[in-house]
Amino acid sequence: MRKVIGKRVFDTSTARLICKVSSRTHPGEFSWEDTSLYLSPKGQWFLAGKGNAYSRWGRECVGGGFIPGDGVCLISEDEACNVLEAEGLDSLIEQFFKLEVG
């Protein structure tokens, strides 16, 4: 998937795939999505994927209602860390982020 955002190109074929994000629903459900976390070559974190009408990728259609969609969404470093925490991927958090002793 390739998307231009703010005069910059984000492409899943050139970015580093970090992890798949769990959908927690089944493909037949309205909120199902297939999303992955990526890191661009220049260090920008982003989510890319597709999903049904009530997923983060759903699109409002003319006349009301929602339809399936796809896209790329830029996220901050903190949001990327939150995604990895939600997925329980501590080893990846340790690999990509500076951690402090609690």
The shares of helix, strand and coil residues in the chain, as percent rounded to the nearest 5, are: 15, 40, 45
Taking the whole predicted model, whether its pTM rises above 0.85 is answered as: yes
Nearest alpha carbon to residue 35 among 60, 101, 8, 25: 25
Going by pLDDT thresholds of 50, 70 and 90, the confidence category of residue 102 is confident
Polymer length of the chain: 102
CB atoms within 10 A of CB 69: 18
Q: What's the pLDDT tens digit per position in 52-90?
A: 999 999 999 999 999 999 999 999 999 999 999 999 999
Nearest CA-CA partner of 95 in 37, 48, 49, 47? 37
